[in-house]
Amino acid sequence: MSVRVVIGAQWGDEGKGKIVDLLSDQTKHVVRFQGGANAGHTLKFDDKTVVLHLIPSGIFNGDAKCVIGNGVVIDPFALLDEIKEVEGMGIDLKGRLFISQTAHVILPYHKVLDKMKERRRAEDAIGTTGRGIGPAYVSKIARIGIRMIDLFDMDLLHKKLLHNIEDINRALENMYSEPTIDADDMISKLDTAIAALKPYICNTSNMLHEAIEDGENILLEGAQGCLLDIDHGTYPYVTSSSPTSGGACTGSGIPPTAIDKVMGITKAYCTRVGNGPFPTELLDETGEELRKKGHEFGATTGRPRRCGWLDLVALKYAVRVNGMNELALTKMDVMDGFEEIKVCTAYKIKGEETSVFPLCLDDVESAEPVYTSLPGWDKDISGMTTFDELPDHAKSYIDFVETYLGVKFTIISTGPKRSETIIR
């Protein structure tokens, strides 16, 4: 039996979808454990491109049971749209898709609050997707959230919703001078979605415990990345959940003693979407070249991603926080053609050089990257499937990063398709 966590080791968008899809035919259960429809995992196979937001990325490769865990916040309307899309591709989700009874529900008023608060922050906006993720987690922590299991008791559900909407409308009207929410219209639309989702809702925690007892392989899929973790990321420019290995336990119900592999996913360079510090960001032609070659635009929002050189200080921090014992390197092919490739091996902060990632936001924002330059390569590596095929300088690049981090790359991606991969 193996329980493996797959998580982003940077600021998200590392290519987790491809790696989970690749590994899913070796497992019996694929579990999404946090986040919401703000995360887009892009899969490419059989000349198809699919972007999943809530359904685990293991749905297309093998016959694993795909679980949306208790740590996820679920937009029922977005999930229904995604279910229809996947079923339209010929995938039968009956007996394949399972939703935790204790996962929380994103409701229309969460989206209203999300967009309003971002608008009112103005230049201090976090850069959220406006999909209600943060406010849904606020409701959860405030103990006024609606859980999937609440959808089975319509009378109690309506009572809870009306109570919440009454409070929210009072704030919208009196504090923010914003339009109020029509409770009856919202509840009516929600009633329609509930009937379609009920067959998928169950006790997923017990299902996974039984899978562990039976010795079955489990793959835990994170969204976003370590540096966006609510506790360990570049707060406050973070997501509202824990996309770390610790979050994998709380978001799935699987005990930490069951996990034996933690795989971190990193690009061969760095990207970030939204606001917040980014020490190695390149605001020049090189940054634009990385964006263009890497097709760096958000899968969910379409926003252009900020690009920069690989940051090993931040990556080492992610390795330590998560206990990563294996790594996957994605978008290695994007580095083709660079005469020189830089990697950040230290920061200079207030005149002092350090290789420790700082926890103070001001220090991260003011950090000057200290680079080590490595030779690039001219050879096109896209689609290569064995390590020996790689040019010597590409091998040296990988070796340098592995030595710095103290962890090996077991997977190297040389293109977006499932088949364009080196397994070591």
In terms of Cα–Cα distance, which of 137, 126, 61, 67 is closest to 95?
Answer: 67
- Report yes or no: 245 and 5 within 8 Å, Cβ to Cβ: yes
Q: Which residues pair with 306 in a beta bridge?
A: 272
Is the distance from CB of 402 to CB of 396 less than 8 angstroms? no
- CB count, 10 Å around CB of 112? 19
Cβ distance 72 to 97 under 8 Å? Answer: no
End-to-end C-alpha distance for the chain, whole angstroms: 20
Instruction: Please confirm, yes or no, whether 158 is among the known catalytic residues.
Output: no
What is the SS3 assignment for 129-177?
CCCCHHHHHHHHHCCCCCEHHHHHCHHHHHHHHHHHHHHHHHHHHHCCC
Residue 224's identity, in one-letter code, is Q
| Nearest CA-CA partner of 75 in 233, 400, 300 | 300
| C-alpha–C-alpha distance, residues 397 and 394, integer Å | 5
User: How many Cβ atoms from other residues are within 10 Å of residue 262's Cβ?
Assistant: 22
Question: Annotated catalytic residue: which of 13, 75, 114, 311?
Answer: 13
The residue annotated as part of the active site, out of 29, 41, 104, 110, is: 41
Amino acid at residue number 57: S
* Distance of alpha carbon 91 from alpha carbon 87, whole angstroms: 5
Cis bond before residue 375 (omega within 30° of 0): no
Task: Name the β-bridge partners of 401.
Answer: none
Residue 88: how many other CB atoms lie within 10 Å:
8
3 CB burial (10 A radius; 0-12, 13-18, 19+): buried
Cβ distance 221 to 6 under 8 Å? yes
CB 251, CB 241: distance < 8 Å: yes
13 is catalytic: yes
Radius of gyration from C-alpha coordinates of the chain: 22
What residues are labeled active site?
13, 41
